[in-house]
Amino acid sequence: MTADQIAALFTRPDGSFLCARWNRPAAPVIFGLADETLPIFRAAIRAGFAHAGHPVADTDPEMGSNLLLFFMRDWDEMAGIPDLDRLTGLPDLPARLRGSSADQYRLFRFDEDGGIRACLVFVRMGGALADAHPAQLAETLVTGSALSFARKVTPSADLAALIRAAYDPVLPVAATDPSHALRLAARMTRQ
């Protein structure tokens, strides 16, 4: 991947750049999946973060869980999530998602140092994802939650190398200058 390709992954529609990684262990919780599917997702989460060299914990001392994955057949089911407005800070989120063709939505919260504090992932399984293989879907969701990607990403060897590079402890947990993509590209060539 070139530095320009990397920068594009973290450049938001308003033109701002943000590349942030988790600065605390990810403590996942999954809602709305059948019991037989949960081990697949738990294993994918642990494997994805282990690949990045980042820990996964059972709980976060401040928040309990900080990686929340919600699965539903359609966006109307979001009405059943307690305190959704307070959780997301977006009172119109269900209406916005119903009005779009999105099959998933990801929302990050950040610590004072810019590192990822929490990630909320909402997945509508009634649409294009209805026939998705659980392991493939799990890998996609974990990949998209590992860094503050500005757009939907698809797992690949290049993306795995980028995530490993971003978790290099000598790099800052968050960067807002697009030149950070040059540092990531340089680390990817050394792996």
79 & 108 share domain: yes
- Is residue 84 within 8 Å of 93, Cβ to Cβ? yes
Asked which of 11-15, 20-24, 130-134 is least confident by mean pLDDT, the reply is: 130-134
Cβ neighbourhood burial of 168 (10 Å; 0-12, 13-18, 19+): middle
- Is residue 182 within 8 Å of 3, Cβ to Cβ? yes
180 & 113 share domain: no
pTM of the predicted structure, to 2 decimals: 0.92
State pLDDT tens for residues 83-131: 999 999 998 899 999 988 889 999 999 999 999 999 999 999 987 787 8
Helices and strands (H, E) in the chain, number of each type? 7, 6
159 & 67 share domain: no
Q: Packing angle between helix 157-166 and helix 134-146, nearest 10 degrees?
A: 40
Domain extent, residue 77, equals 22-146
127 & 91 share domain: yes
